[in-house]
Amino acid sequence: MGKEETTQAKPPTCSGSDAEVKEAVKDQFREMAQIGPSCGQTAAKSVAESFGYAAEQLDSIPDEANMGVSCGNPTAMSSLKPGEVVLDLGCGAGLDVLLAAQRVGPSGKVIGIDMTEEMIHRARDNAQKSNVDNVEFHLAEIESLPLDDNSVDCVISNCVLNLVPDKSIAFAEIFRVLRPGGRLATSDLALKQELPADMAEDIDGCFGTKWGAVSFCQYDAELKTAGFGEIEIVDTGADLNAYMAMDTQPSCCAATLEDADHYARFAAVLRKHDVNPYIASVNVFAIKP
């Protein structure tokens, strides 16, 4: 079973605005952890399959590990090998941790990091249900990882880095914990072009804070500044309207969602705006020299 200790790193120093962003994001994920996919697991599986998960992968782990908020499948692109140490940033309820644990085997280890205590509890419960003993979870922030330098073979993440306000600190931390030759293999969201003002306002309103996604060029520049090489940022072409499957209130509108859950709020944004010309699901790959 997953280890039960909680390790919380010292929070990084951040500006007032960054701290507000983090707290707003925490609030959203606390809500999701407490209510789960409100429309049931059929929709959550549909979303995950839309972003690259095979049905047999999803059937191999507890249903509760899939929260329906993926934007790709990092375990499918990370070339994980038996015996490797893998770090999952923003592990949520444990979806990718449990899938990675199957790939690295008993001689390997997968470490899940999340800044939301409620998600860590869900992830540990799902690890216990899966009867795995090569995983562990830590309550910590990506900008201040509780890991030693040069201690990880591969860092994965799924639709989380776009929420991090200061990506330069996050990428520097990822670079620090990776071993030389280690790799970053993540699924994320990036901007194809600047969002129209009304779309940006509605997306910010959904998250309760300014959304942190950046352009392909800025993403590449941040990774290079951190020291990464062999960088690839690939548009998967996935249809982001897949998230509408998570909505249980198809008649609701964006103007009246203050009391609706996160899934309904985001679905309302997608009904109001065609986001696909502006936002891309991307696979991000980079190597620490």
| Structural domain for 69, as ranges | 16-191+210-241+277-287
Q: Are 126 and 152 in contact (CB under 8 A)?
A: no
pLDDT in tens, the chain (289 residues): 444 443 433 333 333 477 887 888 888 778 777 766 544 578 889 999 999 999 999 999 999 999 989 999 999 999 999 999 999 999 999 999 999 999 999 999 999 999 999 999 999 999 999 999 999 999 999 999 999 999 999 999 999 999 998 999 999 999 999 999 999 999 999 999 999 999 999 999 888 778 999 999 999 999 999 999 999 999 999 999 999 988 754 433 333 334 457 788 888 999 999 999 999 999 999 999 9
Identify whether 251 is part of a domain: no
- What is the predicted pLDDT for the residue at 43? 85
Give Cβ neighbours of residue 10 (< 8 Å, ≥ 6 apart): 144
Nearest alpha-carbon partner for 51 in 167, 191, 183, 159: 159
- What is the predicted pLDDT for the residue at 40? 52
Residue with tokens 């040069």: 150
- Domain holding 125: CATH number? 3.40.50.150
Give Cβ neighbours of residue 16 (< 8 Å, ≥ 6 apart): none
Q: How many domains does the chain have?
A: 1
Identify whether 118 is part of a domain: yes
- What is the predicted pLDDT for the residue at 252? 36
- What is the predicted pLDDT for the residue at 36? 60
- What is the predicted pLDDT for the residue at 260? 52
- What is the predicted pLDDT for the residue at 248? 55
Kindly report the CA angle at 196 between 192 and 198, in degrees rounded to 5? Answer: 140
SS3 call for 111: strand
In b/e form, how buried is each residue of 1-36, taking b as 16+ CB within 10 angstroms?
ebbeeeeebeebebeeebeebbeebbebbebbbeeb
CA dihedral for 54, 136, 285, 275, sign (positive or negative):
positive
Nearest alpha-carbon partner for 286 in 40, 16, 78, 27: 78
- What is the predicted pLDDT for the residue at 37? 54
Identify whether 153 is part of a domain: yes
